[in-house]
């Protein structure tokens, strides 16, 4: 198994443990595990970032790392991961999901800069669909 696969598998295991800890109300442990998952998935994505022929694996790993980055509050890193993924040739479905993640990160900031207010419930509905 390649280093990319090992890191990805470890990241997914940690993300699952983070979810279980969250369900148990162990928020600090959940956050710690999620951060570890993010670090491993980002490392896996970095190892394959310049392997353009490795689609869709390349873009899937970047999407996963970006999602974990968002969950960890690392929005600038998430934006970079999304840009890297989109700079390749991701399948259209993955590209759409990456674009949705970008909007999820940036919509609130955009509206705030424009002086626009949107009900949080409506905003959540926009970015979760």
User: How sure is the predictor about 104, in pLDDT bands with cuts at 50, 70 and 90?
Assistant: confident
Q: Is the dihedral of CA 74, 75, 77, 81 positive or negative?
A: positive
User: How sure is the predictor about 108, in pLDDT bands with cuts at 50, 70 and 90?
Assistant: confident
Tell me, what's the pLDDT at 107?
85
The domain segmentation of the chain, as residue ranges, is 3-128
* Cα separation, 124 vs 109, whole angstroms: 14
Q: Which two tokens stand for residue 44?
A: 């896996």
Does the reported pTM lie above 0.85?
Answer: yes
* Cα separation, 48 vs 43, whole angstroms: 9
């Amino acid at each position: 198994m390649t280093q990319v696969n090992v890191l990805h598998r470890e990241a997914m295991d940690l993300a699952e443990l983070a979810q279980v800890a969250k369900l148990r109300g162990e928020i600090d442990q959940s956050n710690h595990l999620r951060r570890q998952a993010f670090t491993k998935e980002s490392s896996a994505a970095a190892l394959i970032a310049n392997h353009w022929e490795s689609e869709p694996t390349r873009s899937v790993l970047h999407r996963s790392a970006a999602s974990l980055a968002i969950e960890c509050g690392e929005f600038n890193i998430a934006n970079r991961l999304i840009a890297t993924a989109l700079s390749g040739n991701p399948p259209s479905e993955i590209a759409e999901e990456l674009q949705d993640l970008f909007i999820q990160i940036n919509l609130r900031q955009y509206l705030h800069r424009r002086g626009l207010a949107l009900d949080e419930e409506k905003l959540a509905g926009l970015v979760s669909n």
